[in-house]
Chains A and B, each alone.
Chain A
Amino acid sequence: EAGVAQSPRYKIIEKRQSVAFWCNPISGHATLYWYQQILGQGPKLLIQFQNNGVVDDSQLPKDRFSAERLKGVDSTLKIQPAKLEDSAVYLCASSSPSDLQGELFFGEGSRLTVL
């Protein structure tokens, strides 16, 4: 079974530029999450999708971050304009609603450096 796929693995940009990250969840997983992990901290949820609908985006900085999952499969997270404090690893995770335990499966992450 293929895992959660993410790209790019690494990105370096200057502040005020824009960047986009892509995620393809495990096949059949209707629930998709984007997390932000700053060095030395645990992941923090940015947004949760159920199919193509947003379930929780309460911690997403909506003035600069946006995310979509148009067909209920893969998803894109965009940052525009980027700030220095956005330097972090952006992790995508998925889970299956039919899995009552709600176990999370993560991708390898996309490391963003903002100069």
Chain B
Amino acid sequence: KQEVTQIPAALSVPEGENLVLNCSFTDSAIYNLQWFRQDPGKGLTSLLLIQSSQREQTSGRLNASLDKSSGRSTLYIAASQPGDSATYLCAVRGNYGQNFVFGPGTRLSVLP
């Protein structure tokens, strides 16, 4: 059974810093991995989706990498801004038609 963890649970950084959020999964037989952002009281907004055959995906200041063999993905945020403050969740979909399994999220605070 796939399990997804995200460390740290919370992170606080000053504005302008580059930062890395981590996502780990136990079963490497994945189809793809999706990173989401969730603002308080809101739904999830898709940030990046990375296929199992890809090593990384980029969108603006965001870069997601995937290392299937080690069961890890990282989300890199460059030049962080206060508007980046939110909870970031990763979700993993298995190879055999399984649905996404979500991590608990990392709550990010970017201080002005």
Listed in ascending order, the chain A residues whose CB lies under 8 Å from chain B are: 4, 6, 33, 40-45, 48, 56, 91, 93, 101-109, 111
1/0 per residue, CB under 8 A from A, across B69-93: the answer is 0000000000000000000010101
Tell me which of A44, A45, A104, A108 contacts B34 (CB under 8 A). A104
Would you call B32 and A42 a contact (CB within 8 A)?
A: no
Return chain A residues, CB-CB under 8 Å to B100.
Answer: 45, 104
| CB-defined contacts of B31 to chain A, threshold 8 Å | 102
Q: How far is the CB of B33 from chain A (nearest CB, A)?
A: 11
A6 to B41, CA, bound (A): 13
How far apart are the CA atoms of A62 and B43 in the complex, in Å? 25
- Summed over the interface, the residue pairs from A and B with CB atoms below 8 Å come to a total of 49
CA of A54 to CA of B19, assembled, Å: 41
Docked pose: A58 CA to B20 CA in angstroms: 34
Instruction: Supply 8 further A-B pairs (C-beta < 8 A) apart from A102-B31, A104-B100.
Output: A43-B89, A44-B102, A56-B99, A101-B49, A106-B36, A106-B44, A106-B45, A109-B42
Chain A residues near B99 (CB, 8 Å)?
33, 45, 48, 56
How far, in whole Å, are A106 and B4 apart by their CA atoms in the complex? Answer: 20
Q: Which interface residue of A4, A42, A45, A91 has the most chain B CB atoms within 10 A? A: A42
Known: A102-B32, A109-B43. A42 touches B91 (CB 8 A): yes
